[in-house]
Chain A
Amino acid sequence: MFLSKIWFILVGLLAGIAVTAAFVAPRPADRRIEQLEGQRMDRAQYAAEQLLKNDARRWVDYVAKLGTDGKLIDALEAATRGSSELRPLHESVRNRLRELVPDRQGIGAESIIAVDGKGRVVARVGDDEGEFGESIAGAEVVTDALRGYLSDDVWGANNRLRRIGASPVLSKSHDRIVGALVVAVETGKRLAEMWKRNLGVEVAIVLRKNVLSSTLPEALLTQLPEVIEEHAAEIASHKRTRALPLYMGNERLLAVAAPFPGEASEQRAYYVLMTKKSPESDPWALLSSTSSDDLKWGKFPWLPLAGGILAIIAIGLFLQRMEVELPLKHLRAEVHRLAKQELLKIEDTKYGGKLGGIARDINAAIEHFTHAPLPKSETAKKDISAILDPKSATADGRSFDVSNPPVATKTALPPPAAMAASLFGTPRSAPGLGGGPPALPAAPPPAPFTAPSEPAPFFAPPAPQHPAPPPRPMPPPFARPAKAPEPTPVTAAPTINSSGPSGDPDLAHFSQVFEDYISLRQKCGESIVGLSLEKFTAKLQSNREQIVAKHHCKSAQFTVYEKDGKAALRAVPVRE
């Protein structure tokens, strides 16, 4: 399973790389998006600055044009000369301004102030319309206007931000300055909304750490003034900040702050352009933001992806089959063949890894099994030598009779003869020649089986008993030839008892076989003590019945032959 393991490791590594890439790959894209968003904010700030500048010029030109009105010129000139009372001039100028600017609020002008050549307020429309006479000559934009400049400024007094445009009012002869007109323009909600429409960004206006107005809920912008103050040095040097990340609740914003020009710059007045930052592209966010359009055939590489996945699965299954299933199948087949006695053992060298270990374990178990003593009853059941063994004949009534008491029992008793476990069948399943569970004394260990064959050796010569149990005979498929010691000679002669079952057509055959067997045993120098025709015949009858039952034959013929210098019996089924 080496290749399978390697494959699984490779697949795991591939999956790890894929997951890592899924988490890491969006980062550069995020940085790129943030960079692009920052550039967008830069352009928006530049555009806002241009809008401010154009707007300032527009208002300066507006009041310059207003200053060409004859009635205003006359009134301001009179106020400058001081030739008449100021109040009538104030009312005259105020009314004239109302006539000239009927939709003051509509155009965004908060107030328009007319000053004489000394800087005194002659009249104003909008804020504090009733007040006049005070000097505002010290205001730089007013001073400039009275000197001859058209200029603009931004004021941040009284917690209000106003853009100021001022223009001198020249005499009708255009040879002197008789006054000035100053317009104050709303710089708050209206401006923010206009910029939001034109620039497509959120806008906030900040004055002295206070958010004056915003297109976003001001409650969300509590941290904005602090963030801007932290970048005051950057603003002073670059006239703007870079794109700053702002976190407001769940919202992530990108903000650029820039100062208003004029006096307001000294008052920490800033406009802030903000845009919602793209969400961070973690894999889940990316998945949640995909659309069905992204998964269309033409856009998504379904075929390569499916092919890749199928290839991975196929390779994994192939390796699994090659390294696991096929060896397992072969092992199972071998075990089956082993069970069918077609094999002596499993060729464990064919199998690697754990399957090889299993095969070796099976072989070891077989080895252990074939060398371990069988249960006593089983041993006795298989021990057909009891037929010939005079010592075992006295065990119980089901045993063979022994005509001559085993005198030799006082001497060294011969071990049970080795035999095949059964004439036809597995050693353990086939009953012994005696039929039924034999009650033979099981003290002596079993002798080795003889390998079964058809015809198979029926009897093995009795083996001498050893003090230590001899190796257990192998099961028939892999029986090892028993090498029993020479039998101990017995003094008792075999008894031919003719009191066997009568009426059996094979009695003569059994008798002949018995005689042949006795003579061959004598010829081979084997003991014949305790052998009797009756027991011999009964045993042969019993075996005949088993053979007939098993092979569905008519009868069985027994022959005597010599095997390894010992007498043995062979049974042959007779089918006709």
Chain B
Amino acid sequence: MTLPSLRHTLLAVAVLASVLTWQRPAQAATVKGSVSLPAELKTGRRFLGHWRVENTNVAVQHANLRGGTVVLLVGPQYQAIPPKNVSVEISGLQANPAALVISEGTVVEFKNSDKVAHDLSTPAAPQMMAPERLSSGAIRKQRFATAGEYLVRCTEYPHIVISIIVTSSPLFSVVEDKGGFKVSDVPEGHATLKVWSNGAWVHEQEIDVTAKGLDLSVKVQGASSAKETAE
């Protein structure tokens, strides 16, 4: 056997072997839909005073949820995304974005663009982010190495709350102001859809992702409606 023919033979065997050993991956699909939050979660007001009355002339505008709602799919296999730096700006006494989904090891950069100082910390997990005064124009970098959910709060202005969900999964979507979300490249199969809003998991449901994908209408029950359902 000549050398070229041997080379061709080996190539053909290799191709055949690769064809025989290749497993077809699960087909990726898209899960999209809309999230409907209960009234108490879309009031735009976390801390109420004694009075909150509408003016009698102009219709009250909808609250800007500022990206504080996140949909996360749990269960399907995924390829972990590497950590990358993320920035949060505090300006006008509000944080933007109000919710982050980051992978483990990500460094979050907090920038204070206000004229007033902010004391940022994670009160529920003080070991993660100790209280530290962030003066006007200053930047604080904080690495989140452990998976979990963290709430970064400002001591002086309690309404400033930044939700940080640490996970290596790419299967998440930040819900738009109108409630729409879209999660791409979701493997077929069973999954759990979880909704994060106003600093807590507010909804969880089982879904079966098909090759065609899913178009969901997720309706989050509020405390009052959940109570009615239970009854």
Is B47 touching A265 in the complex (CB atoms < 8 A)?
yes
What residues on A are CB-neighbors of B53 within 8 Å? 60, 149-151
Asked whether A495 is an interface residue with its Cβ less than 8 Å from the other chain, the reply is no
Chain B interface residue bracket vs A: 20 to 34
Q: Known: A143-B44, A147-B63. Is A138-B160 also a contact (CB below 8 A)?
A: yes
Interface string of A138-161 (1 = CB under 8 A from B): 111111101111111110111000
Q: Are A151 and B157 CB-contacts (below 8 A) given A134-B114, A144-B44, A157-B116?
A: no
Chain A interface (Cβ < 8 Å from any Cβ of B): 52-53, 56-57, 60, 64, 119, 131, 134-144, 146-154, 156-158, 164, 167-168, 170, 174-177, 261-263, 265-267
Distance between Cα atoms of A147 and B45 in the complex (Å): 11
Measured between beta carbons, the chain A residues less than 8 angstroms from B156 are 156-158
Contact B155 A134 (CB under 8 A): no
B49 within 8 A of A: yes
| Residues 137 to 162 of chain B near chain A (Cβ within 8 Å) | 155-160
> B residues 25-49 with Cβ under 8 Å of A?
44-49
Q: List, in ascending order, chain B residues with CB within 8 A of A147's CB.
A: 44, 60-63
Residue of B nearest to A57 (CB): B51
Q: Would you give 10 A-B contacts (Cβ < 8 Å), ordered by A?
A: A52-B50, A119-B92, A134-B92, A147-B44, A150-B55, A153-B49, A168-B58, A177-B58, A261-B48, A262-B47
Instruction: Report how far A257 CA is from B195 CA in the complex, Å.
Output: 37
Q: Given that A138-B159, A140-B46, A144-B44 are known contacts, is A151 also in contact with B51, CB under 8 Å in the complex?
A: yes
Docked complex Cα distance between A53 and B46 (Å): 19
Instruction: Please name all residues of chain B whose beta carbon is closer than 8 Å to the beta carbon of A135 when the two chains form the complex.
Output: 91-93
A149 to B58, CA, bound (A): 10
Check B57 for interface membership: any CB of A closer than 8 A: yes
Complex CA distance for A142 and B53, rounded to whole angstroms: 13
Contact partner, A138, options B58, B61, B93, B155, Cβ 8 Å: B93
Closest A residue to B94 using CB positions: A138
- Decide if A168 touches B44 in the complex (CB within 8 Å): no
- Whether A176 contacts B58 by the Cβ 8 Å rule is yes
With a cutoff of 8 Å between Cβ atoms, the chain A residues found around residue B114 in the complex are: 134
Chain B contacts for A156, CB-based, 8 A:
156
Apart from A150-B53, A170-B58, list 15 A-B contacts with CB within 8 A.
A57-B50, A57-B51, A64-B55, A134-B115, A135-B93, A136-B93, A138-B92, A143-B45, A149-B55, A151-B48, A151-B49, A154-B49, A157-B156, A262-B47, A267-B155
> Does chain A have a CB within 8 A of B7?
no
Interface of B is mostly: loop
Which chain A residues lie closer than 8 Å to B160 at the CB level?
138
- A157 CA to B116 CA in the complex, in Å? 10
Which residues on the A side are within 8 Å of B48 (C-beta)?
151, 261-262
As a 0/1 sequence over residues 147 to 180 of chain B, the CB contacts with chain A under 8 angstroms (1 = contact) are: 0000000011111100000000000000000000
- Given known A136-B93, A144-B45, contact A263–B157 (CB-CB < 8 A): yes
A residues in contact with B62, CB < 8 Å: 147
Residue of A57, A119, A140, A164 most packed against chain B (CB within 10 A): A140
Instruction: Give Cα distance in the complex from A56 to B53, angstroms.
Output: 12
CB distance from A498 to the nearest CB of B (A): 146
Q: Which residue on chain A has the smallest CB distance to residue B123?
A: A266
CB proximity of A430 to chain B, nearest CB, Å: 118
- Counting CB contacts under 8 A, is B59 at the interface? yes
Shortest beta-carbon distance, A206 to chain B, in Å? 16
Residue B54, interface by CB 8 Å: yes
Q: Give the Cβ gap from B135 to chain A, nearest Cβ, in Å.
A: 13
Chain A, Cβ-Cβ closest to B119: A157
Does B227 have its Cβ within 8 Å of any Cβ on chain A?
no
Q: How far is the CB of B73 from chain A (nearest CB, A)?
A: 31
Establish whether residues A53 and B92, one from each chain, have CB atoms under 8 Å apart when the complex forms.
no
A56 touches B58 (CB 8 A): no
Q: Residues of A contacting B44 with CB < 8 Å? A: 140, 143-144, 147
A223 to B95: give the CA distance in the assembly, Å. Answer: 37
- The 8 Å CB contact of A148, one of B47, B51, B58, is B58
Cα separation A143 to B48 with both chains bound (whole Å): 12
CB distance B159 to A149 under 8 Å?
no
Q: Quick check: is B8 within 8 A (CB to CB) of the other chain?
A: no
Most buried by A among B44, B91, B92: B92
> Contacts of B157 on A, CB cut-off 8 Å?
138-139, 157, 263
- CB closest residue in chain A, given B44: A143
Docked pose: A170 CA to B55 CA in angstroms:
9
Q: How far is the CA of A451 from the CA of B176 in the complex (A)?
A: 142
Which residues from 57 to 109 on chain B have a C-beta closer than 8 Å to any C-beta of chain A?
57-64, 91-95
Contact between chains at A153 and B115 (CB < 8 Å) = no
Any chain A CB within 8 A of the CB of B24?
no
In B107-144, the 8 Å CB interface with A consists of 114-116
A333 to chain B, nearest CB (A): 96
Is the pair A141, B158 in contact by a Cβ cutoff of 8 Å?
no
Closest to A56 in B: B50
Minimal Cβ-Cβ distance residue in A for B158: A266
Q: Which residue of A lies closest to B56 (CB)?
A: A174
Instruction: Name which residue of chain B comes closest to A145, CB basis.
Output: B55
| Chain A min CB distance to B67 (Å) | 13
Q: Nearest chain B CB to A516's CB is how many angstroms away?
A: 139
Residues of A close to B94: CB separation below 8 A: 137-138
Give Cα distance in the complex from A167 to B57, angstroms.
13
CB-based nearest A residue for B53: A150
Residues of B within 8 A of A154 (CB): 49
Point out the residues of chain A lying under 8 angstroms from B55, CB to CB: 64, 148-150, 167-168, 170
